Amino acid sequence: MRVLGIETSCDETGVAVYDTALPGSAGLRAHAVYSQIALHAQYGGVVPELASRDHVRKLLPLVRQTLAEADLKLEDLDGVAYTAGPGLVGALLVGAGVARSLAWALEVPAVGVHHMEGHLLAPLMEDDPPEAPFVALLVSGGHTQLVAVDAIGSYRLLGETLDDAAGEAFDKTAKVMGLPYPGGPQLAALAATGRPGVYKFSRPMTDRPGLDFSFSGLKTQVMLAWRDSDQSDATRADIARGFEDAVVDTLAIKCERALEAAGSDTLVIAGGVGANKRLREKLHDIAGKRGGRACFPRPALCTDNGAMIAFAGALRLQAGQYETAAVKVTPRWDMATLPVVGETKPEFQQ
Ligand SMILES: Nc1ncnc2c1ncn2[C@@H]1O[C@H](COP(=O)(O)OP(=O)(O)OP(=O)(O)O)[C@@H](O)[C@H]1O
Ligand SMILES: [Mg+2]
Protein backbone atom coordinates (compact mmCIF):
# COMPACT_ATOMS: atom_id res chain seq x y z
CA MET A 1 0.00 0.00 0.00
CA ARG A 2 1.45 3.37 -1.05
CA VAL A 3 0.39 6.18 1.24
CA LEU A 4 0.94 9.89 0.76
CA GLY A 5 1.58 11.66 4.08
CA ILE A 6 0.93 15.37 4.63
CA GLU A 7 2.06 17.33 7.71
CA THR A 8 0.99 20.97 8.18
CA SER A 9 0.27 21.26 11.92
CA CYS A 10 2.68 24.12 12.65
CA ASP A 11 5.57 25.73 10.76
CA GLU A 12 6.83 22.85 8.63
CA THR A 13 5.23 21.62 5.43
CA GLY A 14 6.09 17.91 5.19
CA VAL A 15 5.20 15.44 2.45
CA ALA A 16 6.23 11.79 2.03
CA VAL A 17 5.29 8.52 0.40
CA TYR A 18 5.48 5.35 2.49
CA ASP A 19 5.14 1.97 0.79
CA THR A 20 4.13 -0.86 3.16
CA ALA A 21 5.23 -3.49 0.61
CA LEU A 22 8.91 -2.59 1.06
CA PRO A 23 10.89 -3.80 4.10
CA GLY A 24 12.13 -1.52 6.91
CA SER A 25 13.48 1.89 6.03
CA ALA A 26 13.14 1.15 2.29
CA GLY A 27 9.40 1.72 2.77
CA LEU A 28 10.04 5.44 2.85
CA ARG A 29 10.09 6.09 -0.90
CA ALA A 30 10.62 9.84 -0.61
CA HIS A 31 10.11 12.67 1.82
CA ALA A 32 10.54 16.43 1.72
CA VAL A 33 10.18 19.12 4.36
CA TYR A 34 9.87 22.85 3.78
CA SER A 35 10.59 24.82 6.96
CA GLN A 36 9.02 28.24 7.54
CA ILE A 37 11.66 29.22 10.12
CA ALA A 38 12.91 32.20 8.07
CA LEU A 39 9.35 33.49 7.68
CA HIS A 40 8.70 33.57 11.43
CA ALA A 41 12.21 34.49 12.65
CA GLN A 42 11.61 38.26 12.68
CA TYR A 43 8.62 37.75 15.04
CA GLY A 44 10.53 35.42 17.42
CA GLY A 45 7.82 32.75 17.16
CA VAL A 46 5.26 31.18 14.83
CA VAL A 47 2.56 33.55 13.50
CA PRO A 48 -0.42 31.25 12.84
CA GLU A 49 -1.98 33.12 9.91
CA LEU A 50 1.37 33.43 8.10
CA ALA A 51 1.93 29.72 8.70
CA SER A 52 -1.42 28.78 7.10
CA ARG A 53 -0.79 30.95 4.05
CA ASP A 54 2.67 29.55 3.53
CA HIS A 55 1.33 25.97 3.69
CA VAL A 56 -1.11 26.98 0.92
CA ARG A 57 1.84 28.20 -1.18
CA LYS A 58 4.16 25.26 -0.56
CA LEU A 59 2.04 22.14 -0.17
CA LEU A 60 1.11 21.28 -3.76
CA PRO A 61 4.61 21.94 -5.19
CA LEU A 62 5.99 19.74 -2.41
CA VAL A 63 3.52 16.95 -3.25
CA ARG A 64 4.65 17.09 -6.90
CA GLN A 65 8.33 17.11 -5.89
CA THR A 66 7.93 14.17 -3.51
CA LEU A 67 6.04 12.04 -6.04
CA ALA A 68 8.70 12.80 -8.65
CA GLU A 69 11.47 11.75 -6.22
CA ALA A 70 9.58 8.53 -5.47
CA ASP A 71 9.15 8.02 -9.23
CA LEU A 72 5.38 7.70 -8.73
CA LYS A 73 2.28 9.30 -10.20
CA LEU A 74 -0.78 10.42 -8.22
CA GLU A 75 -2.66 7.41 -9.60
CA ASP A 76 -0.13 5.08 -7.96
CA LEU A 77 -1.32 6.12 -4.47
CA ASP A 78 -3.55 3.78 -2.45
CA GLY A 79 -4.31 6.17 0.41
CA VAL A 80 -3.69 9.60 1.88
CA ALA A 81 -2.79 10.44 5.49
CA TYR A 82 -2.69 13.92 6.98
CA THR A 83 -2.15 15.49 10.38
CA ALA A 84 -5.61 16.18 11.81
CA GLY A 85 -4.35 17.54 15.16
CA PRO A 86 -3.15 18.69 17.55
CA GLY A 87 -1.85 21.92 16.02
CA LEU A 88 -2.80 25.34 14.64
CA VAL A 89 -6.33 25.10 13.27
CA GLY A 90 -5.70 27.11 10.07
CA ALA A 91 -2.51 25.23 9.28
CA LEU A 92 -4.18 21.87 9.92
CA LEU A 93 -7.09 22.79 7.64
CA VAL A 94 -4.74 23.40 4.70
CA GLY A 95 -3.33 19.86 4.92
CA ALA A 96 -6.72 18.32 5.63
CA GLY A 97 -8.33 20.13 2.69
CA VAL A 98 -5.64 19.09 0.21
CA ALA A 99 -5.50 15.50 1.53
CA ARG A 100 -9.27 14.98 1.46
CA SER A 101 -9.59 16.52 -2.02
CA LEU A 102 -6.81 14.34 -3.40
CA ALA A 103 -8.31 11.21 -1.84
CA TRP A 104 -11.75 12.10 -3.20
CA ALA A 105 -10.42 12.68 -6.70
CA LEU A 106 -8.31 9.52 -6.66
CA GLU A 107 -11.07 7.46 -5.00
CA VAL A 108 -8.77 6.22 -2.27
CA PRO A 109 -9.31 6.31 1.52
CA ALA A 110 -7.92 9.12 3.68
CA VAL A 111 -7.16 9.12 7.39
CA GLY A 112 -6.51 11.93 9.87
CA VAL A 113 -3.40 11.19 11.96
CA HIS A 114 -2.62 12.36 15.49
CA HIS A 115 0.60 14.41 15.21
CA MET A 116 2.10 12.99 18.42
CA GLU A 117 1.28 9.42 17.38
CA GLY A 118 3.14 10.24 14.18
CA HIS A 119 6.19 11.33 16.20
CA LEU A 120 5.89 8.31 18.49
CA LEU A 121 5.80 5.79 15.65
CA ALA A 122 8.62 7.42 13.61
CA PRO A 123 11.33 5.17 15.13
CA LEU A 124 9.39 2.13 13.82
CA MET A 125 10.16 3.25 10.26
CA GLU A 126 13.84 2.42 10.77
CA ASP A 127 15.38 -1.02 10.19
CA ASP A 128 14.96 -3.62 12.96
CA PRO A 129 12.04 -1.75 14.55
CA PRO A 130 10.99 -2.39 18.16
CA GLU A 131 7.69 -4.12 18.85
CA ALA A 132 5.10 -3.03 21.43
CA PRO A 133 4.92 -3.11 24.39
CA PHE A 134 7.53 -0.41 25.04
CA VAL A 135 7.96 2.93 26.77
CA ALA A 136 8.10 6.08 24.63
CA LEU A 137 9.65 9.42 25.48
CA LEU A 138 8.11 12.21 23.40
CA VAL A 139 10.35 15.27 23.56
CA SER A 140 9.42 18.04 21.17
CA GLY A 141 8.79 21.77 21.04
CA GLY A 142 5.33 21.41 22.55
CA HIS A 143 5.43 18.13 24.47
CA THR A 144 7.46 16.22 27.03
CA GLN A 145 5.66 12.97 27.79
CA LEU A 146 6.43 9.46 28.92
CA VAL A 147 3.95 7.06 27.37
CA ALA A 148 3.39 3.33 27.92
CA VAL A 149 2.69 1.85 24.50
CA ASP A 150 0.77 -1.40 25.06
CA ALA A 151 -0.02 -1.80 21.36
CA ILE A 152 0.06 0.48 18.32
CA GLY A 153 -2.78 2.88 19.11
CA SER A 154 -3.00 2.03 22.81
CA TYR A 155 -1.23 4.77 24.75
CA ARG A 156 -1.15 5.39 28.52
CA LEU A 157 0.35 8.64 29.76
CA LEU A 158 2.87 7.89 32.52
CA GLY A 159 4.11 11.43 33.08
CA GLU A 160 4.43 14.80 31.39
CA THR A 161 5.78 18.28 31.88
CA LEU A 162 3.91 20.54 34.27
CA ASP A 163 5.14 23.67 32.47
CA ASP A 164 7.60 24.09 29.56
CA ALA A 165 8.35 21.27 27.12
CA ALA A 166 12.02 20.22 26.85
CA GLY A 167 12.33 21.72 23.35
CA GLU A 168 10.67 24.92 24.51
CA ALA A 169 13.19 25.11 27.38
CA PHE A 170 16.05 24.75 24.86
CA ASP A 171 14.55 27.51 22.69
CA LYS A 172 13.83 29.91 25.57
CA THR A 173 17.23 29.35 27.17
CA ALA A 174 18.93 30.03 23.84
CA LYS A 175 16.97 33.28 23.55
CA VAL A 176 18.03 34.36 27.06
CA MET A 177 21.66 34.08 25.93
CA GLY A 178 21.05 35.98 22.70
CA LEU A 179 21.01 33.11 20.20
CA PRO A 180 18.72 33.64 17.17
CA TYR A 181 15.31 31.91 16.85
CA PRO A 182 14.76 28.98 17.06
CA GLY A 183 17.75 28.47 19.31
CA GLY A 184 17.42 24.84 20.49
CA PRO A 185 19.74 23.20 17.94
CA GLN A 186 22.19 26.14 18.16
CA LEU A 187 22.30 25.87 21.94
CA ALA A 188 23.07 22.16 21.56
CA ALA A 189 25.88 22.94 19.07
CA LEU A 190 27.30 25.50 21.48
CA ALA A 191 27.11 23.04 24.39
CA ALA A 192 29.45 20.72 22.46
CA THR A 193 32.22 23.32 22.88
CA GLY A 194 31.42 24.08 26.54
CA ARG A 195 33.14 22.51 29.54
CA PRO A 196 31.09 20.11 31.69
CA GLY A 197 30.63 20.95 35.38
CA VAL A 198 31.62 24.65 35.19
CA TYR A 199 27.93 25.53 35.60
CA LYS A 200 25.83 23.05 37.53
CA PHE A 201 22.04 23.45 37.29
CA SER A 202 19.42 21.41 39.13
CA ARG A 203 17.77 18.24 37.81
CA PRO A 204 14.16 19.35 38.43
CA MET A 205 11.75 16.97 40.18
CA THR A 206 14.21 14.09 40.33
CA ASP A 207 14.50 14.27 44.16
CA ARG A 208 10.97 12.91 44.59
CA PRO A 209 9.13 9.94 43.11
CA GLY A 210 7.02 10.38 39.97
CA LEU A 211 7.36 10.69 36.23
CA ASP A 212 6.36 14.30 35.65
CA PHE A 213 8.78 17.01 34.51
CA SER A 214 9.25 20.73 35.06
CA PHE A 215 11.68 22.77 32.95
CA SER A 216 10.68 26.39 33.45
CA GLY A 217 12.83 26.83 36.61
CA LEU A 218 15.94 25.77 34.70
CA LYS A 219 15.44 28.62 32.27
CA THR A 220 15.39 31.06 35.22
CA GLN A 221 18.57 29.52 36.65
CA VAL A 222 20.30 30.05 33.31
CA MET A 223 19.01 33.61 33.10
CA LEU A 224 20.50 34.45 36.50
CA ALA A 225 23.79 32.69 35.74
CA TRP A 226 24.10 34.53 32.41
CA ARG A 227 23.18 37.90 33.97
CA ASP A 228 25.84 37.54 36.66
CA SER A 229 28.56 36.27 34.29
CA ASP A 230 31.14 38.04 32.10
CA GLN A 231 28.89 37.14 29.10
CA SER A 232 31.85 36.01 27.02
CA ASP A 233 31.55 33.40 24.24
CA ALA A 234 33.35 30.83 26.40
CA THR A 235 30.93 31.42 29.29
CA ARG A 236 27.96 31.12 26.96
CA ALA A 237 29.25 27.72 25.84
CA ASP A 238 29.89 26.58 29.44
CA ILE A 239 26.37 27.60 30.49
CA ALA A 240 24.92 25.87 27.42
CA ARG A 241 26.76 22.70 28.40
CA GLY A 242 25.52 22.94 32.02
CA PHE A 243 21.94 23.43 30.79
CA GLU A 244 22.09 20.57 28.28
CA ASP A 245 23.55 18.20 30.88
CA ALA A 246 20.75 19.12 33.31
CA VAL A 247 18.01 18.45 30.74
CA VAL A 248 19.62 15.24 29.48
CA ASP A 249 20.20 13.87 33.00
CA THR A 250 16.65 14.74 34.05
CA LEU A 251 15.15 13.02 31.00
CA ALA A 252 17.39 9.98 31.51
CA ILE A 253 16.50 9.61 35.21
CA LYS A 254 12.78 9.71 34.40
CA CYS A 255 13.16 7.31 31.47
CA GLU A 256 14.90 4.80 33.73
CA ARG A 257 12.09 5.13 36.26
CA ALA A 258 9.45 4.73 33.55
CA LEU A 259 11.10 1.56 32.20
CA GLU A 260 11.21 0.20 35.75
CA ALA A 261 7.56 1.10 36.39
CA ALA A 262 6.40 -0.44 33.11
CA GLY A 263 8.64 -3.52 33.45
CA SER A 264 10.08 -2.81 30.01
CA ASP A 265 13.61 -2.67 28.57
CA THR A 266 12.70 -0.99 25.30
CA LEU A 267 12.72 2.77 25.12
CA VAL A 268 11.52 4.60 22.03
CA ILE A 269 12.39 8.29 21.69
CA ALA A 270 10.76 10.74 19.31
CA GLY A 271 10.31 14.48 18.74
CA GLY A 272 12.78 17.25 17.91
CA VAL A 273 14.87 17.00 21.09
CA GLY A 274 15.45 13.35 20.14
CA ALA A 275 17.94 14.77 17.61
CA ASN A 276 20.14 15.87 20.52
CA LYS A 277 23.42 13.96 20.36
CA ARG A 278 24.12 13.83 24.08
CA LEU A 279 20.55 12.68 24.83
CA ARG A 280 20.89 9.91 22.26
CA GLU A 281 24.17 8.71 23.83
CA LYS A 282 22.81 8.82 27.39
CA LEU A 283 19.59 6.97 26.60
CA HIS A 284 21.47 4.30 24.62
CA ASP A 285 23.58 3.85 27.78
CA ILE A 286 20.72 3.50 30.24
CA ALA A 287 18.72 1.11 28.04
CA GLY A 288 21.89 -0.89 27.30
CA LYS A 289 22.67 -1.24 31.01
CA ARG A 290 19.23 -2.80 31.50
CA GLY A 291 19.94 -5.27 28.69
CA GLY A 292 17.49 -3.50 26.41
CA ARG A 293 17.77 -0.83 23.75
CA ALA A 294 16.87 2.75 22.92
CA CYS A 295 15.34 3.31 19.47
CA PHE A 296 15.47 6.70 17.78
CA PRO A 297 14.42 7.88 14.33
CA ARG A 298 17.25 9.31 12.23
CA PRO A 299 17.70 12.97 13.27
CA ALA A 300 15.83 14.33 10.20
CA LEU A 301 12.74 12.35 11.25
CA CYS A 302 12.84 13.60 14.88
CA THR A 303 11.49 17.05 14.00
CA ASP A 304 8.21 17.53 12.12
CA ASN A 305 8.01 15.65 8.83
CA GLY A 306 5.54 14.02 6.44
CA ALA A 307 7.15 10.57 6.67
CA MET A 308 5.87 9.91 10.18
CA ILE A 309 2.35 10.87 9.08
CA ALA A 310 2.52 8.63 5.99
CA PHE A 311 3.74 5.75 8.17
CA ALA A 312 1.23 6.16 11.03
CA GLY A 313 -1.54 6.65 8.48
CA ALA A 314 -0.47 3.55 6.53
CA LEU A 315 -0.77 1.41 9.70
CA ARG A 316 -4.32 2.62 10.25
CA LEU A 317 -5.37 2.43 6.60
CA GLN A 318 -4.01 -1.12 6.39
CA ALA A 319 -6.20 -1.99 9.38
CA GLY A 320 -9.22 -0.54 7.57
CA GLN A 321 -9.40 2.60 9.69
CA TYR A 322 -10.34 5.72 7.83
CA GLU A 323 -13.03 8.37 7.98
CA THR A 324 -15.75 9.94 5.84
CA ALA A 325 -14.79 12.59 3.30
CA ALA A 326 -15.47 15.51 5.69
CA VAL A 327 -12.58 17.96 6.15
CA LYS A 328 -12.28 17.80 9.93
CA VAL A 329 -9.38 18.69 12.22
CA THR A 330 -8.97 18.43 15.99
CA PRO A 331 -6.64 21.20 17.26
CA ARG A 332 -6.78 19.76 20.82
CA TRP A 333 -6.69 15.98 20.87
CA ASP A 334 -5.89 13.48 23.65
CA MET A 335 -3.80 10.60 22.25
CA ALA A 336 -5.27 8.20 24.86
CA THR A 337 -8.62 8.38 23.03
CA LEU A 338 -7.26 6.84 19.80
CA PRO A 339 -8.53 3.40 18.73
CA VAL A 340 -6.10 0.47 18.83
CA VAL A 341 -4.80 -0.40 15.37
CA GLY A 342 -6.26 -3.65 14.08
CA GLU A 343 -8.58 -4.25 17.04
CA THR A 344 -11.33 -1.78 16.26
CA LYS A 345 -13.84 -2.06 13.46
CA PRO A 346 -13.79 0.98 11.16
CA GLU A 347 -16.30 3.48 12.52
CA PHE A 348 -16.88 5.16 9.20
CA GLN A 349 -16.81 4.11 5.61
CA GLN A 350 -15.95 6.45 2.81
N1 LIG B 1 19.79 18.97 18.65
C2 LIG B 1 18.78 19.45 19.40
N3 LIG B 1 18.94 19.57 20.74
C4 LIG B 1 17.94 20.05 21.51
N5 LIG B 1 16.74 20.44 21.03
C6 LIG B 1 16.54 20.33 19.71
C7 LIG B 1 17.53 19.83 18.83
N8 LIG B 1 17.04 19.84 17.56
C9 LIG B 1 15.76 20.32 17.67
N10 LIG B 1 15.46 20.61 18.95
C11 LIG B 1 14.20 21.17 19.48
O12 LIG B 1 13.13 20.41 19.00
C13 LIG B 1 11.96 21.25 18.91
C14 LIG B 1 11.29 21.04 17.57
O15 LIG B 1 10.86 19.71 17.50
P16 LIG B 1 9.50 19.29 16.82
O17 LIG B 1 9.49 19.78 15.43
O18 LIG B 1 9.31 17.85 17.06
O19 LIG B 1 8.50 20.10 17.77
P20 LIG B 1 7.14 20.77 17.43
O21 LIG B 1 6.53 20.08 16.27
O22 LIG B 1 7.36 22.23 17.37
O23 LIG B 1 6.29 20.43 18.73
P24 LIG B 1 5.08 19.38 18.89
O25 LIG B 1 5.40 18.22 18.04
O26 LIG B 1 5.09 19.07 20.34
O27 LIG B 1 3.87 20.10 18.44
C28 LIG B 1 12.44 22.67 19.11
O29 LIG B 1 12.04 23.11 20.39
C30 LIG B 1 13.96 22.57 18.98
O31 LIG B 1 14.63 23.49 19.77
MG1 LIG C 1 6.01 18.10 16.15
| Domain containing residue 195: CATH number | 3.30.420.40
Instruction: Give residue 345's pLDDT.
Output: 54
Q: Which domain holds residue 162?
A: 132-296
Task: Let me know whether 29 and 60 are in one domain.
Answer: yes
Three-state secondary structure string covering the chain? CEEEEEECCCCEEEEEEEECCCCHHHHEEEEEEEECHHHHHCCCCCCHHHHHHHHHHHHHHHHHHHHHHCCCCHHHCCEEEEEEECCCHHHHHHHHHHHHHHHHHHCCCEEEEEHHHHHHHHHHHCCCCCCCCEEEEEECCCCEEEEEEEECCEEEEEEEECCCCHHHHHHHHHHHCCCCCCCHHHHHHHHCCCCCCCCCCCCCCCCCCCCCECCHHHHHHHHHHHHCCCCCHHHHHHHHHHHHHHHHHHHHHHHHHHHHHHCCCEEEEECHHHHCHHHHHHHHHHHHHCCCEEECCCHHHCCCCCHHHHHHHHHHHHCCCCCCCCCCCCCCCCHHHCCCCCCCCCCCCC
- Pocket of ligand 1, candidates 33, 170, 244: which has the most ligand atoms within 8 Å of its Cβ, to mutate? 170
Q: 271 CA distance to ligand 2 centroid (A)?
A: 6
Instruction: Give residue 348's pLDDT.
Output: 44
User: Does any ligand 1 atom lie closer than 6 A to the CB of residue 33?
Assistant: no
Query: Where does a domain end: 247, 266, 296?
Result: 296
Instruction: Give residue 109's pLDDT.
Output: 97
Residue nearest to atom 20 of ligand 1 (CA): 141
Task: Let me know whether 323 and 272 are in one domain.
Answer: no
User: Does any ligand 1 atom lie closer than 6 A to the CB of residue 190?
Assistant: no
User: Does any ligand 1 atom lie closer than 6 A to the CB of residue 14?
Assistant: no
Instruction: Give residue 346's pLDDT.
Output: 53
User: Does any ligand 1 atom lie closer than 6 A to the CB of residue 185?
Assistant: yes
Count structural domains, the chain.
2
Q: 108 CA distance to ligand 1 centroid (A)?
A: 33
Can you list the residues of the chain whose pLDDT is less than 70?
A: 344-350
Is position 65 within any domain?
yes
Instruction: Give residue 350's pLDDT.
Output: 36
User: Does any ligand 1 atom lie closer than 6 A to the CB of residue 248?
Assistant: no
